[in-house]
């Protein structure tokens, strides 16, 4: 029986697992994947290498990376019936719903019914990393009546995703920005969706259910969905001059009003990923005029630092990702699916870790309901 004093709403500060996948120091804005700083990876590496690092535990050798990359390229394509299924999805459905359904269906076309077969687990791991972009791009196109574009195996992961979305290859700069965004979103210790993946994995559910459950968890506006909400917020504000009156009005109407894209359970300073994303945004906007939403975001960060800074509430990764994706021409509701395309690497790394010495998650509760209630037959109730 648990006691009130043991109860921590939202499991704040409660360790849910031992993990070697990543390290986060929220007071110093340090984030490392398997010991390597994320800023270095965003600049020097690519998503293929980072996903291997997360899942396997060490940077790959040249041979390992070449073989893994070839495996990824070979598993990008999806079954033609899965494409038909995506074509039948409602065009006004959310791309995260389509991804959720698509991941489940992927598990039916390429089954991994048991988690005790290492070769099948690896096949599913590679397929999930490789095919999530295909699922996302396919729905993003069919919902607007465009043909699905099959993946190309002569492009890298980020470039191929862009190609499947838009039917053209990205410039070198765009490819690098997209790749860096994938790296920055690939893993982040025991966040809600990763915890979801571990809980689901602990039942020995198949990897497609593990990732499907995590996709659902990521979709919420307090988690991955915040990047969409942050961009809508910048649009609602309408420009840097409106920031202060907008925030004053929101806080007057609701003193607990939550500004989207700021605040974090662990970070008490600015999220390291937000800083790198901001650098990327500056790079993207160097050759063009800065978009109004970016100017608004900069001013909102400044104003919020005065209001919320003393409480340790600063921009998180979702604050600047939306303005970057918008500059790349990506529709707003595809932002969170891109987060999933990246985070699948972290989820799978945690799933692998969970399976080693697995014990099913089964926490306690503080019971607050009635007990011993007498059942009154329906016909005797008023």
What are the phi and psi torsion angles at 210 (to 5°)? Answer: -60, -50
CA–CA gap between residue 354 and residue 84 (Å, rounded):
34
- Residue 259 binds ligand ACO, judged by CB under 6 A: yes
Strand partners, 86: none
Residue 259 CA to residue 230 CA, distance in Å, equals: 8
Strands (E), the chain: 22-25, 30-33, 36-37
Q: Is 265 helix (H, G, I), strand (E, B) or coil?
A: coil
CB 261 to ligand ACO: min, Å = 5
Is 333 catalytic? The answer is no
Binding to ligand ACO (CB under 6 A): which residues in 282-311? Answer: 308, 311
Q: Mark 318-347 with x for binding to ligand ACO (rule: CB under 6 A) and - for no binding.
A: x-----------------------------
String of contacts with ligand ACO for each residue 185-224, x by CB under 6 A: ------x------------------------------xxx
Which residue stretch of 23-31, 45-53, 151-159, 253-261 sits at the interface with ligand ACO (rule: CB under 6 A)?
A: 253-261
What is the C-alpha to C-alpha distance for residues 343 and 320, in angstroms, rounded to an integer?
A: 17
Kindly tell me which residue out of 155, 210, 262, 324 binds ligand ACO, with binding defined by CB under 6 A: 262
Q: Map the footprint of ligand ACO across residues 92-121, applying CB under 6 A.
A: none
Would you say 72 or 297 has its CB closer to ligand ACO?
Answer: 297
CA distances, 208 to each of 99, 135, 252 (Å): 12, 13, 45
CA quadruple 301, 10, 55, 262: dihedral, nearest 10: 0
Q: How far apart are CA 178 and CA 50, in angstroms?
A: 14
Phi and psi at 317, nearest 5°, equal -60, -30
The interface mask with ligand ACO, positions 19-38, x = CB under 6 A, is: --------------------
Active site residue 156: no
Nearest distance, CB of residue 262 and ligand ACO, angstroms: 4
Instruction: Out of 264, 327, 341, 353, point to the residue binding ligand ACO (CB under 6 A).
Output: 264
- Do 47 and 180 form a contact (C-beta atoms < 8 A)? no
- Residues near ligand ACO (CB under 6 A) are 10, 191, 222-224, 226, 256, 258-265, 308, 311, 313, 316-318
Active site residues: 264, 318
């Amino acid at each position: 029986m648990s006691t009130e004093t043991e109860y921590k709403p939202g499991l704040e500060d409660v360790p849910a697992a031992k993990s070697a996948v990543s390290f986060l120091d929220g007071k110093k804005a340090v984030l490392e994947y398997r010991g390597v700083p994320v800023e270095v990876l965003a600049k020097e590496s690519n998503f293929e290498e980072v996903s291997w690092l997360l899942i396997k535990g060490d940077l790959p050798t040249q041979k390992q990376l070449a073989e893994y990359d070839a495996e990824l390229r070979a598993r990008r394509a999806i079954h033609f019936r899965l494409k038909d299924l995506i074509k039948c999805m409602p065009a006004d459905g959310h791309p995260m719903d389509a991804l959720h359904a698509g991941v489940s269906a992927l598990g039916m076309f390429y089954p991994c019914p048991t988690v005790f077969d290492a070769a099948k687990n690896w096949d599913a791991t590679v397929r999930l990393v490789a095919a999530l972009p295909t699922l996302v791009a396919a729905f993003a196109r069919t919902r607007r009546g465009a043909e699905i574009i099959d993946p190309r195996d002569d492009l890298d992961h980020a470039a191929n995703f862009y190609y499947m979305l838009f039917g053209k290859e990205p410039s070198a700069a765009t490819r690098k920005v997209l790749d860096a965004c994938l790296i920055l979103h690939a893993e982040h210790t025991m966040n809600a969706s990763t915890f979801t993946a571990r809980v689901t994995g602990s039942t020995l559910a198949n990897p497609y259910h593990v990732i499907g459950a995590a996709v659902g968890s990521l979709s919420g506006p307090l988690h991955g969905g915040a990047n969409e909400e942050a961009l809508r917020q910048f649009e609602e504000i309408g420009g840097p001059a409106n920031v202060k009156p907008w925030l004053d009005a929101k806080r007057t109407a609701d003193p607990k009003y939550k500004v989207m894209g700021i605040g974090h359970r662990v970070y008490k300073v600015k999220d390291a990923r937000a800083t790198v994303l901001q650098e990327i945004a500056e790079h993207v906007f160097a050759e063009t005029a800065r978009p109004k939403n970016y100017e608004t975001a900069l001013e909102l960060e400044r104003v919020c630092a005065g209001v919320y800074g003393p409480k340790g509430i600063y921009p998180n990764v979702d604050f600047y990702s939306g303005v970057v994706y918008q500059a790349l021409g990506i529709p707003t509701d595809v932002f969170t699916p891109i987060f999933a395309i990246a985070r699948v690497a972290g989820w799978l790394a945690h799933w692998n870790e969970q399976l080693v010495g697995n014990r099913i998650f089964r926490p306690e509760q503080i019971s607050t309901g009635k007990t011993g209630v007498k059942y009154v037959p329906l016909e005797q109730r008023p």
